Structure 1
């Protein structure tokens, strides 16, 4: 019988994210056991710098036996069927009270189903969003665990130790029960889609509109990053723009094919928004932009038949377009976050999760991909008014949006006149204009529905009459 002291934490799946999280946990004083099904990957991990507190195996039975009870296991495998398969394999090896954590980007309803199934076996299950990529996993991610509160308390010492830290604490919180953690991570990724597209549109307006080179763009954007528009994604943009191709000496970004991929969380966010009746046009437009980018051959062919407008910048536009674009970027980003927060708010009410939007803003300030300076006033807004219906009407942002809207409109107008597509700038502005409009033209829409389908309508002059139908012939 082995007399080795059992490990305090387990990581199943030692891919890039799994191994970096395991090393992060080990760095913070916890002994870790790691399991990996691929012999080649396991050998590669074992060949790395040895860690006294990290022991690895290719046997699932041995892995489970290496852990102290009640066990804490972080599952880092591909989302979907592999998670269910691993849960089925692990369940007979676990004991009542053990906690299994799914750290992948799983569909939140799958998480709810899995939590229920494990609960019925006397086991505990947590769905945890992990943001920060490889670097974050190794040195401090933002973590969004959802599931039973007592299960979270059992893993809390570990996740608080490994999470990114800011002046407001560790970037982790118990998001809520059930699938709350994975839902929030999904929306986080949806916001990420829109923010990345906004930066791409900013790049395009300044590049094609003003003719700025990547080096000139760096100078402009680096200045912006020092102000209120500062964010991790803007820092990443600067990093990309600065990189030179070692073969040609040209900016490497200019050699990257303009086809963007996706892994599905943006699509999920849009699908859920339709189910809950919460508009997220900024995220939907960003998703459409990626899908359109994939149609490269068709776009090239269309460019020969559909010429761009023959337009030039005015002297005023040449002088102010960069400053206008700065304001448009910040304002559209606020509107994007507003849509994401509204969606989380709606899901929290629908599923009775009691998610704190102020806490999300706090844990997103460090480690995660969408960390940005605007999260500080965003947190203050939801701290002062937890049931705030929409971020755009908060005292922190309404005056800023009002001040920046004229510049934002000039950017959308100028880009449209030049034939530069700005789908997220445009859809975000349309969202703001729709939300601030006391009157919308959907009175005509509802009248049309009643005219061809007898769907009824409400009279604004006699609301007490309820829904009525008219003969429109």
Structure 2
């Protein structure tokens, strides 16, 4: 298969696929990461059809990559968009590729920088036959065991599921962060880090995000090295927009999105924790405190 985009996620995905025995030709604009000089060279290195080409590029780059790629592929090839693309674009992309006989899957991918070690949660949208053809790749990428993969539905379903997943993530992170700020402000609780660590076993609020929170506090107990600014990457906004369109109330997710907007106006203690959590699971840049 070909893999376009070898950043924080794509590079580790290439390695996990290779460890499972798959041949992966990766392309990235950074020549130090790339296995090919360009998209044409990447496709030329792939076996005969049906080829599989997986995109892990920002949403802003998907259309331009597809424009170049479609002229290089053959009837029966499959393109997978595994980036955080907006689900409303997937049917259009599937239709455009279908005109050239190329098939399309949209795959929401979760796992951040830890996916190489633990596997990636995959939410897939598209036709069942195409999903089945690509199952060896999905099996290699997903965690071991029964969970971590779902064929969510037709084109758009994978990215819609990932969008809602990330909206939930926003709300969970916000709840942890607000709890941390409240504990830090109290005079009664003397060891906030140990309190959070104690919740990792037995508590109903235990989760992988909680584990990452504890890891962040171990590195910087008071988060003095982090600026309380958290960017929103798009999926939170899209989740709220979809909820408005469908008349579904999502007050917790909406509030967590707006809290990120607040972080751009004031250096909030809770936003320090949001920024620290994003860095732990996704390798996002952490801005230092202003002098």
How does the TM-score come out when normalised to structure 2?
0.87
Matching residue of 1:178: 155
Report the CA distance shift for 1:171/1:23 in structure 2 as closer, same or farther (over 3 A): same
Is the Cα–Cα contact under 8 Å of residues 147 and 177 in structure 1 kept in the other structure? yes
Where do 1:82-231 residues align within 5 Å? 82-137=61-116, 139-166=118-145, 169-210=146-187, 212=189, 216-227=191-202, 228-231=204-207
Do residues 75 (structure 1) and 51 (structure 2) align?
A: no
What SS class does the counterpart of residue 71 from structure 2 fall into?
A: helix
Matching residue of 2:289: none
Tell me, in whole angstroms, the C-alpha distance in 2 between the residues paired with 1:210 and 1:188.
Answer: 36
Matching residue of 1:42: 31
Matching residue of 1:277: 247
Aligned-pair distance for 1:122? 1.4
Is the Cα–Cα contact under 8 Å of residues 99 and 124 in structure 1 kept in the other structure? yes
Is the Cα–Cα contact under 8 Å of residues 118 and 125 in structure 1 kept in the other structure? yes
Is the Cα–Cα contact under 8 Å of residues 26 and 32 in structure 1 kept in the other structure? yes
Tell me, in whole angstroms, the C-alpha distance in 2 between the residues paired with 1:150 and 1:212.
Answer: 56
What SS class does the counterpart of residue 254 from structure 1 fall into?
A: coil
How does the TM-score come out when normalised to structure 1?
0.54
Aligned-pair distance for 1:21? 0.6
Aligned-pair distance for 1:165? 2.0
Tell me, in whole angstroms, the C-alpha distance in 2 between the residues paired with 1:138 and 1:13.
Answer: 19
Q: Greater relative contact order (Cα 8 A, min sep 6): structure 1 or 2?
A: 2
Where do 1:26-37 residues align within 5 Å? 26-36=18-28
Matching residue of 2:215: 239
Tell me, in whole angstroms, the C-alpha distance in 2 between the residues paired with 1:85 and 1:232.
Answer: 36
Tell me, in whole angstroms, the C-alpha distance in 2 between the residues paired with 1:42 and 1:266.
Answer: 33
Tell me, in whole angstroms, the C-alpha distance in 2 between the residues paired with 1:274 and 1:182.
Answer: 18
Is the Cα–Cα contact under 8 Å of residues 16 and 140 in structure 2 kept in the other structure? no
Aligned-pair distance for 1:16? 2.3
Matching residue of 1:320: none
Matching residue of 1:63: 42
Aligned-pair distance for 1:95? 0.9
- Which one has the bigger helix percentage? 1
Matching residue of 1:312: none
Aligned-pair distance for 1:143? 0.9
Tell me, in whole angstroms, the C-alpha distance in 1 between the residues paired with 2:217 and 2:167.
Answer: 24
Aligned length: 267
Question: After superposition, what is the alpha-carbon deviation per residue over 1:416-462, rounded to whole angstroms, capped at 9, x for unaligned?
Answer: xxxxxxxxxxxxxxxxxxxxxxxxxxxxxxxxxxxxxxxxxxxxxxx
Structure 1 alignment gaps of length 5 or more:
1-8, 47-55, 245-250, 300-368, 370-473
Matching residue of 2:272: none
Aligned-pair distance for 1:70? 0.1
Runs ≥4 residues deviating over 2 A: 209-213
Where do 1:380-399 residues align within 5 Å? none
Aligned-pair distance for 1:212? 3.6
What SS class does the counterpart of residue 249 from structure 2 fall into?
A: coil
What SS class does the counterpart of residue 152 from structure 2 fall into?
A: coil
Where do 1:293-332 residues align within 5 Å? 293-296=263-266
Whose Rg is larger?
A: 1
Is the Cα–Cα contact under 8 Å of residues 74 and 100 in structure 2 kept in the other structure? no
Is the Cα–Cα contact under 8 Å of residues 95 and 123 in structure 1 kept in the other structure? yes
Structure 2 alignment gaps of length 5 or more:
269-280, 282-291
Calculate the aligned-residue CA RMSD, in Å.
Answer: 1.8
